[in-house]
Structure 1
Amino acid sequence: MLRATVILQPPHPIHLGQTLGTLARGHEDPLFRSVHTRDQEQYWVSSTYRNEGVLLCFSREHSTVKDLAQRLMHPITVRLWCHSDASALEQAAANLPYWLGFHDVWDAFLTLSTYRDLPLVLRETQRNNPGIRLSATGQLTRHMVTAIAEQKVTGIEAMGGMRAIIRELGSPVPATGNPHQPTGMFFFPDARAIRRLPSWKWHRFGFDSARSKAILAYTDRATSLEHLAHTAPVEQLASALNTLPGIGPWTISEALQRSHGHPDAISVGDFHLAHLVGYALTGRRTDDAGMLHLLKPWAGHRARVVALIKASGVLEPRRAPRLAPEDHRFI
């Protein structure tokens, strides 16, 4: 097994939990886990480079420094492990600053003439949380397949289905010898393996035909789309993804927010987001068209506004019971 350690000095405040935490899909995500010890916080993430799985552990020592911004400037240690491909390890190490949001500079947003038009609670949220950054993992296939799995179903259904696929087709991460390494983590399966999954297993894992067909449509072109993701502007990639059957603006935005840290990607069609944005900005819920109208003054930075809304804790009062998932597998 190959291993490496990289120590990174942030160029601006970085909050590990608020930056990397957006990658987690539930508490028992086989691709992401957080561990908090007496001495440090750790975030374990599996990734893939050059078709080789690379396990990442981001950590930072706890500090007694009172000033929050200073604490969030402390060095971040990243440990990496893979089975045999040194070039995959090197590529993963080179991409670590993007995972941590080093590229995500908020100066242009904070100096907008319209920034002062944000509600006071959101401006205070930014001042009190200077380490919020948009992570860019570069892992397009992982985020596209996961986003498709989450189309028009509850989180419980989506996460359950994805865990089943990952455990069926993915490979376990290596044992590192670290006493705090979480159990049950896997590498995301290769697109070719997903394409070979028989139809009866999609049904068994709780996927309807629309989502399984959309995932297969993506995996059929995964190689060319991943190349485009690393060589073309994000707008060109979004246009290419939009040509795939069963894949629309919501799915594309959800994926690009995480793979590219896209600062303006908005998940139009989300069951809750428009209501949340409307309530945070006006005190009233709205629809997708209303959300886009409300966010227009911060065009180019709309994902950052949404990140502040989510970090603020502002929530519209619940009006109805949670939607119960439906299970059609045995009908």
Structure 2
Amino acid sequence: VRGEAWGPGAEWLLDRLPELLGASDAPEAFVPRHRVVATALHRRPGLRLTRTGLVLESLIPSVLEQKVTTDEAYRAWRLLVRKFGEPAPGPAADGRLWVMPAPRTWALIPSWEWHRAGVDNKRASTILRAVRVAARMEEAVRMAPAEAQARLEVVPGIGPWTSAETVQRSHGAADAVTVGDLHLPGIVGWALAGDREADDCVMLELLEPYAGQRHRAARLILLSGRVPARRAPKMPRWDIGGL
């Protein structure tokens, strides 16, 4: 892999490029215990968990994803970053790539701009509380994943779901299971035991043979495509920005 970078963070980025590509991951430590997982691993031999080394960059999008559809969260992220971030440096950016706002910039976003982006007050307030202690949040990258999750969950509005989604990316945490998810327990339960009604407790019990690698196992299950048939319509989208 050959990398080029521009701007104030260029040297930092190139130093971290191997970890961004999963060089610090250890996929060889994973031993599949179920046929569906073994098949997914065989079909995706290059799967690696990356480590960004950046907490807020993963934390803020994860907060935006709380209790809404993925499309709504992506839209909010896109609108806020394009309005309050900066164009990325370098010739390849060409006005299409943007840099996430600095913590102080997030803290100064007016309430009506959150509303226009479709972000309710609860999620906006959580992000504002997190960016006020941005340095403490970023310190978590030097902690073990479990300790980092505990650090993040000190901030009101950040629970196990959000902290797990964050350290999966910032730390490349192979064992950080996303609990509290609307769909994941049923998908894991269906793939491993034919139980589409599985809850978090059942999911964690089914993933116990993968202790230390439970997030990787869940990722492989998602990549297997073995999901239960939908029984209800998708969650409706609510554009609060139009209210």
The TM-score normalised by the length of structure 1 is 0.70
* Separation in 2, partners of 1:268, 1:96: 30
- Find the counterpart in structure 1 of residue 29 from structure 2: 108
In structure 1, give the amino acid aligned to 2:11.
E
- Find the counterpart in structure 2 of residue 187 from structure 1: 99
Instruction: Quote the RMSD (CA, aligned, Å).
Output: 1.6
- Find the counterpart in structure 2 of residue 325 from structure 1: 237
1:280 aligns with 2:195: no
1:77 aligns with 2:5: no
* Separation in 1, partners of 2:134, 2:194: 42
Report deviation, 1:313. Answer: 1.7
Conserved 8 A contact 2:4-2:14: no
Report deviation, 1:296. Answer: 1.2
Report deviation, 1:216. Answer: 0.6
TM alignment of 1:11-22, pairs within 5 A: none
TM alignment of 1:94-243, pairs within 5 A: 94-110=15-31, 115=32, 117-118=33-34, 120-176=35-91, 178=92, 184-229=96-141, 231-243=142-154
Give the structure with the larger strand fraction.
1
Count of aligned pairs: 242
Deviations 1:57-99 (A, max 9, x none): xxxxxxxxxxxxxxxxxxx2222222xx3xx322211111111
* Separation in 2, partners of 1:280, 1:78: 38
* Separation in 2, partners of 1:103, 1:320: 41
* Separation in 2, partners of 1:121, 1:294: 13
Uncovered stretches (5+) of structure 2, i.e. residues with no partner: none
Aligned to 1:307, which of 216, 219, 243? 219
1:265 aligns with 2:180: no
Conserved 8 A contact 2:76-2:118: yes
The TM-score normalised by the length of structure 2 is 0.94
Q: Which of 1 and 2 has higher RCO (CA within 8 Å, sep 6+)?
A: 2
- Which deviates more, 272-281 or 310-319? 310-319
- Find the counterpart in structure 2 of residue 247 from structure 1: 158
* Separation in 2, partners of 1:125, 1:208: 38
Task: Tell me which structure has the larger Cα radius of gyration.
Answer: 1
* Separation in 2, partners of 1:217, 1:89: 29
* Percent identical residues: 37
Q: Indicate the SS of the match to 2:98.
A: coil
* Separation in 2, partners of 1:289, 1:235: 18
- Find the counterpart in structure 2 of residue 36 from structure 1: none
Report deviation, 1:183. Answer: 5.2
Stretches (4+) displaced over 4 A: none
In structure 2, give the amino acid aligned to 1:203.
H
Report deviation, 1:182. Answer: 6.9
In structure 2, give the amino acid aligned to 1:137.
T
Report deviation, 1:205. Answer: 1.3
In structure 2, give the amino acid aligned to 1:252.
S
Uncovered stretches (5+) of structure 1, i.e. residues with no partner: 1-75
* Separation in 1, partners of 2:123, 2:116: 13
Q: Indicate the SS of the match to 2:2.
A: strand
1:91 aligns with 2:2: no
* Separation in 1, partners of 2:165, 2:143: 19
